[in-house]
Amino acid sequence: MSTNAEVNEVPWGSIEEYLLENNDFLDGVVITGGEPTLNEDLPELISRIKALGLKVKLDTNGTNPDMLDDLIKAGLLDFVAMDLKGPLDLKYDQLCGTAVDLVAIKRSINMIMTSGIDYEFRTTVVPHYLDAQDIERMAAFIGGAKKYALQQFKNDRTLDHRLSQIDPYSEGVILGMGEIARKYVRKVVLRGI
């Protein structure tokens, strides 16, 4: 897969038509990415979706707290899922492969936790990149959070071919990480084990 792949734009009319035609069994829409908060038209899109009576879940990496704040204050979000890539230190940049504004990430975490809307933080646990100590540091940082989801790494669907050579953690290791995280957050969910 090329990182320069062209993306076809879908007109709002097509999206609206689909949502209306499937209204009987749709409760909501998930806005995901790339990073959706980088699109300045996001509030308008979500407003249109909400006008159809649908709930909206936003998947974010937390790098744009200003947009997140605008969406929360406007009452446009029903649920936020924020990815935590790793401990909030120099390792975060290493895991992302680029410099990350950790102040922005921390602002987003705090904003989500105090927003009053439903949310979860989630981490995909990749061996050789994250270990139990990292999970403990992240869980401690989001201490008191409603939900923290630990997601099993899947090596069969990766954009970086080097990751396909890494075997996922065993179920026992993931269960142990979940127990560690439970010391800090209200609910831990383990996915993919």
For residue 45, the domain's CATH number is: 3.40.50
Are 122 and 148 in contact by the 8 Å Cβ rule? The answer is yes
Question: How do residues 26-60 score in pLDDT, each as one tens digit?
Answer: 999 999 988 999 999 999 999 999 999 999 999 99
Would you put residue 144 in left (φ > 0), alpha (ψ -120 to 50) or beta? left
What pLDDT is attached to residue 5?
Answer: 58
Residues 128 and 173 in one domain: yes
Looking at residue 145, its amino acid is A
Looking at residue 150, its amino acid is L
Q: How far, in Å, are 139, 151, 163, 188 from residue 135 at the CA level?
A: 6, 12, 20, 12
For 179, the domain range is: 84-193
Question: How do residues 111-150 score in pLDDT, each as one tens digit?
Answer: 999 999 999 999 999 999 999 999 999 999 999 999 999 9
> What is the token pair recorded at 63?
């790098």
| Residue 64 is assigned to a structural domain of this protein | yes
**Residue after which a domain boundary falls, among 82, 103, 133:** 82
Q: Give, rounded to a whole angstrom, the gap between the first and last alpha carbons of the chain.
A: 27
